[in-house]
Amino acid sequence: MVQIFKNANYQFINRRYIAFAISAILTLITIISLIVHGGLKNGVDFTGGTLLELRFQTPIRTEVLRSAFRNLAVGNVSIQKFGEGYDFIIRFESQMAASADSISSQIIQLLQTEIPNNSAELVRIEMVGPRIGKELQKNAIIAVIIGMIGILIYVSIRFDFRFGTAAVIALCHDVFTTIGFISLTKTEMSIPMIAAVLTIIGYSVNNSIVISDRIRENRRKMLKGNFMDIINTSINQTLARTSLTAFTTFVVAFTLWLLGAASIKDFAKVISFGIIIGTYSAIFIGAPLVAEWEKRFPAHRRR
């Protein structure tokens, strides 16, 4: 991969309007998905309730498990199957009025009675009250906003305000399209999903800083160069590093998505998408926005 991009000379800046159009389409798809699905599907972390992760000795059908849980009298039950049918995530909309140990005993006893020929292991149990769920939701939003503001300040100080603003716009693009992916795939929004979004923000801003740093270096070296050419050259010079980093991290995340435990699959799925969109925005959105800004409102002067 490094050899492929060793002497790269792709015209990214000249194709920035195509990239902007693609991003506009992705944004529109996200908006439509959120409207159609009535917003994001919040998980137990934000709505309150009980979550169980079960692992069976032999595969079973979702319908069999759903039928067994009808006798537990916990209201609406959401069942999510992973893989071949050994692992299941089960969510109750309301919190059961009992301790975790008591619920564990009830679940195991229920499964032994309803599905006697297939032993089950209760891998984990989580119980969250509605009040705590609302607090977690509020804190998660605050964490994302503070992260964005901090990045704007840091990049503006290290480079200049144009680079800082472009980096934050690229991050907003990444976060919003990731939310669209979460909505389209009907993935439940939870604390691990917030962690995934924050991870994507960190990954994306790192790519933006690497490119911005190279632009700053090239402005000192290419004294007679056009600002657009400097940006395009800088993107090409960092392309091998950006692509290699994206490829290696994507392989790990995608492997966890395919082969990981049920509790980590959704996180790995969102991270896999975030790596792709974060790499795309660093190359086609962040630096090209600085170029567009310079074109419309020239601030770069040559002697």
Domains of the chain, residue spans: 13-42+132-296, 49-128
Question: Is residue 1 a contact partner of residue 247, using CB atoms and an 8 Å limit?
Answer: yes
Q: At what angle do helices 191-221 and 239-259 cross, to 10 degrees?
A: 170
Cβ–Cβ under 8 Å, residues 43 and 189: yes
Structure tokens at 227: 């600002």
pLDDT value for 6: 64
Say what the pLDDT of residue 114 is: 82
13-42+132-296 and 49-128 have identical folds:
no
Instruction: Determine the 3-state secondary structure of 125 from DSSP.
Output: strand
Q: What is the pLDDT of residue 131?
A: 63
Decide yes or no: CATH 1.20.1640.10 for domain 13-42+132-296: yes
Backbone angles phi, psi at 79, to 5 degrees: -120, 125
Interatomic CA distance for residues 169 and 173, integer angstroms:
6
Residue with tokens 């901090």: 150
In the structure encoding, which two tokens stand for residue 87, read together? Answer: 């692992």
pLDDT in tens, 156-197: 787 778 888 888 889 889 999 999 999 999 888 888 888 888
Which tens digit of pLDDT belongs to each residue from 33-81?
999 988 888 877 777 777 888 888 888 888 888 888 776 666 667 788 8
Q: How confident is the model at residue 303 (pLDDT cuts 50, 70, 90)?
A: very low
| Residue 170 near residue 286 (C-beta atoms within 8 A) | yes
Q: What DSSP designation does 187 have?
A: P
Instruction: Assign domain 49-128 to its CATH architecture.
Output: 2-Layer Sandwich (3.30)
Name residue 55's beta-bridge partners: 87, 121
Q: What is the pLDDT of residue 299?
A: 66
